[in-house]
Amino acid sequence: MPEQRRKQKNSAVKLTILFTFIYALITQQVLANSWIRRLDEWIYDRNFLTLEPNKTPTLVMLVDDLGLRSITSIALLIAATLISRRFKSWRPINLSLLSLLLLNLTVGASKLLFGRTKPSTGFDLVFTDSGLSYPSGHAANAILTWGMIAYLIFRYSHKYPFEGMRLTWFVSITTIGVCLASLYRNTHWFSDLLGGLFIGSALLVAIIAVDRSITSDRQPS
């Protein structure tokens, strides 16, 4: 394995461990009913980002939709297919399918396990039968799928640092926008979004680590 790929893989593995640890720490604090849930309540009580559902601006709805699993999945698969056809490699599609599989298994299982109620119910409870708030699927979808699209574009189409910086900014702005829209619409607690961001980030860099671990003649170095 070339030295550059080895360093990139090692960095991705370290980031995966770090993000997973932070996600576990946030989860522990949520379940322990500690300071982070008091922060959730403080944000909820201030109501400075909340509107009634029928008064939500169209722009906020559109931004919020960028975190929907149906939209992000379709966008990722279309991008991966186009890149795969251009470079005659199945790897972009395989990486995309792997990311969607891990996303659904990890986030879906966590939602069912923790059973946290959404702020729109007026109660903050965990381990309920109907709760599916933690971690935020919108946040995880946004950071993982848009991040995966950016990674594939940069890895296969552009190799200049400036292009990578622009794509990073795009992913960051999109993800922050999705999180703010969720708070605005009162569909997630603040800690839900934090948990979603870190589990989504952990999955993203884990997939990058897999990609950098397996060499291919048709993949740029």
- CA 102 vs CA 96, 125, 185: distances in Å: 10, 26, 27
Q: Which helix (H) or strand (E) holds 53?
A: none
Q: What is the pTM of this model?
A: 0.87
What digits encode the pLDDT tens for the residues 27-70?
A: 999 999 889 999 988 888 766 555 555 566 777 778 888 888 88
Angle between helices 91-114 and 69-87 (to 10 degrees): 160
Residue 218 forms part of a structural domain: no
**Residue 50 — φ and ψ, nearest 5°?**
-110, 135
Low-confidence ranges of the chain (pLDDT < 50): none
Residue 221 forms part of a structural domain: no
Residue 37 forms part of a structural domain: yes
Predicted confidence at residue 221, as pLDDT, reads 52
Predicted confidence at residue 198, as pLDDT, reads 97
Predicted confidence at residue 209, as pLDDT, reads 92
Can you give the residue range of the structural domain that contains 86? 3-213
Predicted confidence at residue 96, as pLDDT, reads 94
Predicted confidence at residue 61, as pLDDT, reads 78
Residue 88 forms part of a structural domain: yes
Number of domains in the chain: 1
